[in-house]
Structure formats: C-alpha cells, structure tokens
Amino acid sequence: MRILLKLGFPGIIFSWLMATPFLAMAQQSGANGQQAASPDSFDIKQHTFDLPQALPPGKYHHALGVVYVVVPRDWATDLVNAPMFSYSGKYTLPKGFDAQFNYVTLIISNRILLQPWWNYDMDHFHFGVGYGLAFNFGFLNQFGFNTYLTGWEQQPSLKVGYNWQKTALVVRGDLYWTNALYITEGKNTIPYTNGFINGYGFTISFDQRLYSQKVMTIGVRMDYLKYHVIAWPAFPVNQYRYWVPEFQLILTF
C-alpha cells in the first residue's frame, strides 16, 4: 500500500530556522555593551524544556511543536509532504528524575511516548538517561482503505547538553525496539509479534530565547528505521532500513 499526503510545508521556513541560531549569537555578541548598561537576568536553564537538567520537584513544563518528516521514496508512490504536530509535558521529581509525555499526530498517524528520565548537572554540562514506552495507532478509511494500526515500542534514550546564558545545545540518541504491531484490514488482523529493532536515531537541537520568558527549539533528527509511524500504511516495505530526516520547531511555555 502507498499513501499520498500533500498538505504543503515550504522548505524556505527551515532554511530560515537553521540560520536563526547564528543570527542570535551575533546579536548577543554585538549587544554586550548594552547589556552592561541594562543587565538581563534571563537564564535559559529556567525556561528550556529540552535540556536534561535536575530541576526542583513538583513543577510541570510543556511545549508545542511542529515536526516535518522527509519520508523515503521507497515507502510511498510520492513524497509524504505533511507536518506532524506535537505536545510534550514534563513533571519534575526529586533527585534529578522527571516523567515526560510526548504526543505526535498527523490525525491518521499517532504516537504516544511515556518516558521517565534521570538527569545530572555538572556546571554548564547536563546529562540525561531515559527509558520510554511508546504506543502507535493509526487509521485510514479513505481512498478505498479500511486499515488500522496499533503497536508498542520501547525507546531507551541518552542526552548531553550544554548551556550558555540565553542559549543551549542538546545532542540526543535513541534506540527504537518494536515489541508488537497489529495491522487490521477490514476483518483480518495481521500480527507482527516477534520483537525487532526498528532502528536508531540522533538529534541535535538548539534552544534560544524567543521573546520574554519563551524559548524556541530548532532541531534536526536523523533516524535509521525500517518504518516510521507517519508512513505506517506502507508497512512492511522490506527488511531494509532507511535514513529518515526530521526537522523540529518547538515553543516552550
């Protein structure tokens, strides 16, 4: 099966986004004299969502994002050209722990991730270790299809971050281990219950102050996968893995 989704998402937006961090650094460098006259107490560690840091317990942080996935041509008759939308929440716990929730959706394709983290700080360096459980679900009732997907995954993760006063850089690695997938066509269900390593991925993201106390995150992820939830109607294509680039734009509240 093949899926064709064309909602449009201009590539020029991402070109501008990737240039934004460098422009922000230049502005900060050129504003040193002004800061001496009117000091700014903003500290990105108090407002960033992505940085793996030990925070005071009992606080809730959340973020909204847009995710643009570049699907391999082998997975569809044409490029899937549609943004996914994400919501993330984090509740801080004692001793450097926190519990995170992430929901990514394209309406017909959905992924929910629950992931506890342990974080450690060393001056401006930050480290995090997480282990998550993900639930994938999707449905396609158009174009002659009557198809549904449900599935479970495990996702161990590592993060390393470094912060400046108003910016931060985070590098992340993930492993995707699929426990089970169930694809239903009409009244027939095809189970994939032999667990397998779906693949792995790396993310680099840059946090910067956007306005007031709000922080914007610009991220690029490269996943090496057998399948991606955005193109689940094409599963299984074959036994090969493919590079799947992903661009992220996230606003922390």
Write out the residue range of the structural domain in which residue 53 sits.
11-34+45-252
In a domain, 238, yes or no: yes
Task: Compute the distance between CA of residue 253 and CA of residue 205 in angstroms, rounded to an integer.
Answer: 17
Q: Is residue 205 domain-resident?
A: yes
Note whether residue 3 is domain-resident: no
Tell which residue, 240, 236, 212, 245, has the closest CA to residue 69.
245
CB-based contact 189:151 (threshold 8 Å) = no
* Global confidence as pTM: 0.81
Q: Is 181 helix (H, G, I), strand (E, B) or coil?
A: strand
Question: Is 111 among the domain residues?
Answer: yes
Of the listed ranges 20-24, 98-102, 136-140, 195-199, the one predicted with least confidence: 20-24
Contact 52, 170 (CB under 8 A): yes
pLDDT computed for residue 94 by the predictor:
96
What CATH number does the domain containing 116 carry? 2.40.128
Is 2 part of any domain?
A: no
Q: Hey, is 204 helix, strand or coil?
A: strand
What tens digit of pLDDT does each residue of 179-217 get?
999 988 878 898 989 999 999 999 999 999 988 888 999
pLDDT (0 to 100) of residue 78: 56
Compute the distance between CA of residue 196 and CA of residue 13 in angstroms, rounded to an integer: 36
pLDDT tens-digit map of 209-243 = 988 888 999 999 999 999 998 888 777 667 889 99
152 lies in some domain: yes
Cβ burial 50-82 (10 Å sphere, 16+ → b, else e): bbbbbbeeeeebebebebbbebbeebbeeebbb
Looking at the structure of the chain, the number of domains it has is 1
Q: Is residue 4 situated within a structural domain?
A: no
116-119 contact pairs (CB < 8 A, 24+): 117/52, 117/157, 117/159, 119/52, 119/53, 119/54, 119/55
Report the C-alpha gap between 37 and 247 in whole angstroms.
Answer: 38
pLDDT tens-digit series, residues 27-78: 444 445 444 445 678 899 989 999 999 999 999 999 999 999 988 887 765 5
Asked if the structure places residue 6 within a domain, the reply is no
